[in-house]
A and B are shown apart, each in its own frame.
Chain A
Amino acid sequence: MNAALPPLIELSGVACGYDRHAVLADIEFSMDKGELVCLLGPNGVGKTTLFKTILRLLPPLAGIIKIGGENAAGWSARRFARMIGYVPQVHTLPFSFSVLDVVVMGRVAHLGTFAAPSRKDRSHAEMALEALSIGHLRDRIYTEISGGERQLVLVARALTQEPDLLVLDEPTSNLDYGNQVAVLGHIRRLASEYGIGVIMTTHDPNQALDYATAVVAIDRNRMLHVGKPAEIVSEAYLNETYGVRARIMRMKMDGETRRFCLPLQRGAVAAPFKDTQSCA
């Protein structure tokens, strides 16, 4: 990375939470284009809160969020959407839009207030579908395709925003194993080939170990740990945070060391921690 270039996104001294009640505080984090960052943490520690703060759906309670070296607080929704694309969890819609209709809507940040998408916007959408190898779904109805396909359609929609940063909310939840691998493969390619920065939340430490270039892990005490996957997702972290005794395994493949974790206990697990939110 060019040292003169400011980081793609930089959080300094950020506190986030609801209604002036801070859930997480003193967050320091930055990342560059082409990186794939996994946001890891148990339910209820503020993962979603941080996620929504980055997306500006919640105002930060303290600190500054800079995008491309510029404080993004005063940006219009339009300008923000051209920099950051949001990929929600697979959902269903009240209306049966076609896949192309859904993907074209990603162009809204590039269109005037009263404008409708042009042929150029539609070809943008088609390119995004092709980039994720789902061009054949173009005329299908969004509500009638499979969960994995819908997730990729939502990624395609975010891509038509032409963002520098893609923020994904548990992109593999509710997907079968084959679709999980397919979706993750596409996401990794967007970072490594297209140079897009990616932040994704996940519940699977294996995804962080095998796909991420950096990991942000939130522990039970709401402390953030930022670093390389191999450093952060350790046996100690899994034990302390999830109460799971696990072994991190290493495997050499094509000259590359890949890591994955395996829980050791196979019988009944000591009761998992309660959600901290319900305790609070």
Chain B
Amino acid sequence: MATVVRLLSLAAAVAGIFLLSFWIGRYPLHLADVPLILLSHLPGLSITPHWPKVADIVVMDVRLPRLTAALLVGMALSASGAAYQGVFRNPMVSPDILGVAAGASFGASLAILCNADIVVIQLAAFGSGLLAVAMTYAIVVLRRGRSDGVLMLVLVGIIVDIVFSALVALLKYAADPDSTLPEITFWLMGSLASVSMRDLTAAAVPILIGCALLSLLRWRLNVLSFGDEEAKAMGVNVRAVRGIVILGATLMTSAAVAVAGVVSLIGLVVPHLTRMIVGPNHALLLPASMLFGAGFLLVVDDLARTLGSGEIPLGILSSLIGAPIFLYLLLKTARAWT
């Protein structure tokens, strides 16, 4: 019971941040208008608009997709980070471990270089993110031998990551320094500035599927932390569980990177921070990480669009905020690792 209460209060806090974030931005909105504008779009409710048309556009077409994107992306990166840390039995693992971010960056860069439409850029990022992880996984599974599956996954993941990062660098080298190169560079820095409702619905599907897969298997993730042999002897089909978790986490991360670009460190810091608060049991850690991640990215995005005169890229800001938090955690818990 206590855990349900904790999760519900966390969810309420995230919902509060979500609503408050509507007031943040260049265009000033009247305090009472935001809930009314949102409600006026619900079917069956007839609320006579007394606000300017532009307020409606700001809320519905600019801030609602952006805030929802922050919510979904933060949730996706944190959930997959928590899941990967469980699968790889290592709290220092981030969702990039199997090459998904480098893969997605490559797809997006290639599409930008070809002057593709934003939809194509996002599809290319999503597809090549999946491809990179599929390559890592296939190499490990198809190989014969008996060495540790987790270690091989991590090592092959590093190699795939190196290859795709090099390919991204190659594309940047080939790009036009006046047009496509800055575009690639900005995309890689991460942003939620141009998210539309259509992008969001497309990204929500893989994110929610991944979310469901991880949620269903979350308690079983605990058993994997004893290592393959013990988990197997305890009656768990290790390969199947690990495969499904990797699939779910990859769907989520790929879709998140496709929408928001590379927003690093959230997938590493948030699960770690959450574990210090709620403990390592994934039955609670996973949903709590999702909520923490959603709230964290909402706040970071609020700062991204208010701190400077222009927008600060999300990837830069999340790193600048996440790194000190992570360093603090590291110094505080360093004793436990010696």
Chain A residues with a Cβ under 8 A of chain B: 18-19, 52, 55, 57, 76-82, 84-86, 88, 93-98, 101, 105-106, 108-109, 113-117, 157, 161
Contacts and interface: CB of A to CB of B under 8 A. Distances in A.
Interface string B215-244: 011111011011001101111110000000
Interface stretch (B46-54, B105-113, B273-281, B324-332): B273-281
Given A95-B280, A98-B279, A105-B223, A161 B91 contact: no
Given A77-B236, A81-B234, 5 more contacts: A88-B226, A95-B275, A98-B281, A109-B236, A161-B234
Given A105-B222, A108-B223, A117-B219, A97 B280 contact: yes
Contacts of A113: 216-217, 220
B283 interface: yes
Contacts of A77: 232, 235-237
B146 interface: yes
Interface residues of B, number: 28
A16 B223 CA distance: 27
B233 A101 contact: no
Given A93-B225, A95-B275, A97-B281, A114 B217 contact: yes
Contacts of A78: 235, 237
Contacts, number: 81
A108 B225 CA distance: 13
A85 to B, nearest CB: 8
Contacts of B217: 113-114
A105 B90 CA distance: 19
B225 A109 contact: no
A134 B336 CA distance: 24
Contacts of B336: 96
A114 B214 CA distance: 10
A116 B283 contact: yes
Contact of A105 (B91, B234, B237, B279): B234
B89 interface: yes
A117 B218 CA distance: 12
A55 B233 contact: yes
